[in-house]
């Protein structure tokens, strides 16, 4: 297929957290709020006058300083973020909406705070620790509402003059939904037998909406959507199997490229930094305040294993099976960051439950933070794709090549 017009533009934006659009938005007077987790409702960090930046550490190599302050068996994502913070890479931030979601993330944020490895305005800068509930009932909604109001919205207003009124939140949701609508429409093309967009391209576009001020990428996203609508895919399918990727943080497009270079096509992305969830429109009604609705939507749509109530575990299994069918995936890759407490448990459970109870063909892997050049991982994915081909042949759905 012909290259997308703005693909290189979006790839360049992902090279650094303090990218050109972040600098442009700050020059225009907006403040940057960093965050690391879906559990800090993204739309509330994009109220008029501020924008969110989901923290990434592209091209990470050494994590020696972070390992000294944490441990070599700590999550590599958390260590990579701390390493970059100690190097001064997040000095452009005005605030960080941290979450008390796992011990590695907590330790990362604690060290950033203690060593003041953050922020350009030390007098106004703040770092929050949101206490995240384990379920999604109304008590959890009220608890998180109190946390967000006291620890994020109030200091944004007092220190930077950010308006968090109901009208302001509704405006933020409206703008957020515009971006989600484009990403969702792009994602719908992935359901086609021969999609006019690859998993790598889709991931790059989605990542850009996490890493950049949304208002500054919307026009090029909309133009890319129109381009994809007209795009003519290659006559012959270039993939050997369709796969869904499920798991923890993937903010390195190189990992999706590695998977697709083995002959797979990634058609659904149920992982942190992906579009499911994260890029679904937030519905609002007039009968209740917008803040409560946003928080309830966030708690009920998350697919994070942090929520360990049994009905939430069941929801994750059912959602994976539904997406598998919806996107006509031949198999699923369950992945976790090395040493991730929650996903290591979830991956082990899914590796047993999904084939046994749902008939899904599953590859279960743990991986380093930067995995795009992993020869061992490439070999395992290749073997998985070959097994999916054999399965299709045995079922009479394909032909040997």
Q: What is the pTM of this model?
A: 0.95
Q: How far apart are CA 327 and CA 243, in angstroms?
A: 9
Q: Kindly list the structural domains of the chain, giving each domain's residue range(s) and its CATH number in brackets, ordered by start.
A: 7-167 (3.40.50.11890)
Average predicted confidence (pLDDT) for the chain:
94
Residue-level pLDDT at 401? 40
Residue-level pLDDT at 29? 96
Residue-level pLDDT at 399? 47
Residue-level pLDDT at 362? 97
Burial bucket for residue 114 (CB in 10 Å: 0-12, 13-18, 19+): exposed
Token digits of residue 145: 């509402």
Residue-level pLDDT at 40? 95
Low-confidence ranges of the chain (pLDDT < 50): 399-401
Helix (H) or strand (E) holding 294: helix 290-301
Task: Find how far residue 87's CA is from the centre of its chain.
Answer: 24
Residue-level pLDDT at 307? 93
Query: How many residues appear in the chain?
Result: 401
- Nearest to 43, CA basis, from 284, 285, 312: 284
Q: How far apart are CA 336 and CA 346, in angstroms?
A: 9
């Amino acid at each position: 297929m012909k290259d997308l017009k703005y693909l290189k533009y979006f790839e360049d934006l992902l090279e650094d957290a303090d990218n050109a659009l972040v600098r442009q938005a700050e020059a225009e007077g907006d403040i940057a709020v960093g965050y690391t987790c879906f559990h800090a409702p993204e739309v509330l960090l994009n109220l008029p006058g501020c924008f969110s930046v989901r923290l990434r550490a592209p091209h990470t190599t050494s994590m020696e300083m972070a390992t000294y302050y944490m441990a070599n068996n700590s999550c590599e994502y958390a260590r990579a973020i701390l390493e970059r913070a100690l190097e001064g890479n997040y000095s452009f931030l005005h605030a960080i909406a941290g979450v008390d979601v796992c011990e590695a993330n907590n330790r990362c944020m604690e060290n950033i705070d203690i060593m003041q490895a953050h922020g350009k305005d030390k007098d106004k800068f703040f770092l929050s620790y949101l206490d995240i509930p384990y379920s999604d009932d109304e008590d959890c909604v009220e608890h998180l509402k109190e946390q967000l109001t006291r620890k994020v919205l109030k200091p944004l207003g007092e220190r930077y003059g950010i308006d968090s009124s109901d009208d302001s939140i509704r405006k933020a949701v409206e703008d957020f939904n515009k971006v989600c609508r484009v990403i969702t429409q792009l994602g719908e093309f992935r359901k086609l037998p021969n999609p006019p967009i690859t998993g790598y391209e889709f991931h790059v576009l989605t990542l850009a909406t996490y890493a950049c001020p949304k208002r500054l990428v919307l026009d090029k996203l909309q133009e890319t959507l129109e381009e994809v609508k007209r795009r003519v895919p290659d006559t012959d399918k270039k993939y050997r199997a369709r796969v869904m990727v499920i798991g923890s943080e993937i903010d390195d497009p190189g990992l999706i490229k590695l998977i697709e270079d083995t002959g797979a096509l990634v058609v659904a992305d149920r992982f942190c930094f992906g579009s499911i969830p994260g890029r679904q429109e937030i519905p609002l009604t007039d009968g209740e305040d917008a803040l409560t609705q946003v928080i309830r939507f966030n708690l009920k749509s998350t697919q994070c294993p942090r929520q360990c109530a049994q009905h939430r575990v069941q929801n994750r299994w059912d959602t994976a099976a539904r997406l598998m069918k919806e996107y006509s995936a031949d198999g699923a890759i369950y992945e976790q960051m090395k040493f991730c407490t929650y996903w290591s448990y979830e991956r082990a459970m899914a590796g047993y439950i999904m084939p046994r109870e749902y008939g899904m063909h599953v590859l279960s892997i743990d991986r380093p933070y930067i995995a795009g050049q992993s020869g061992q991982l490439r070999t395992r994915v290749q073997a998985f794709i070959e097994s999916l081909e054999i399965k299709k042949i045995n079922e009479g759905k394909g032909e040997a090549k």
